[in-house]
Amino acid sequence: MSGIPVLAATLVEPGRYELREYPLPDPAPGCVLVKMELSGICGTDKHTYQGFTTQYAGAGEGKEIRFPIIQGHENVGTVAAIGGNGHYADFEGVPLKVGDRVIVGANVSCG
């Protein structure tokens, strides 16, 4: 699956997006690749668009987000691939399989 190009609206600097091509990753062991169907825009996305890139500052030390950024952490999609041995479960322990519809944890960052 890797190497297939995918497109993403990429915030390259405050107030400016570019449509960029990225290689489709193979999920690492313990990871799931999700094909996005819907993505919400939240207040953090709006503030980042305006140039405010320190996040989670109210919970201790803030994390500085650097450009370019692919925004959108409120997502609904379907499992496209499962890394490793193909066994992965959701947060309740229910096994996932390719094709399952999922909601991604909005405040869990992959970095």
Q: Is the Cβ–Cβ distance between 45 and 11 less than 8 Å?
A: no
Domain ranges of the chain: 5-103
Class of domain 5-103: alpha beta
Residue located via tokens 């990753």: 25
- pLDDT computed for residue 110 by the predictor: 53
Q: Is the Cβ–Cβ distance between 48 and 73 less than 8 Å?
A: no
- pLDDT computed for residue 65 by the predictor: 84
- pLDDT computed for residue 91 by the predictor: 83
Torsion 42-28-11-66 (CA) sign? positive
- pLDDT computed for residue 104 by the predictor: 85
Q: Which two tokens stand for residue 21?
A: 């091509």
Chunked into runs of 10 residues, the chain (111 residues) has average pLDDT values of 82 97 91 91 89 76 86 91 88 92 76 50
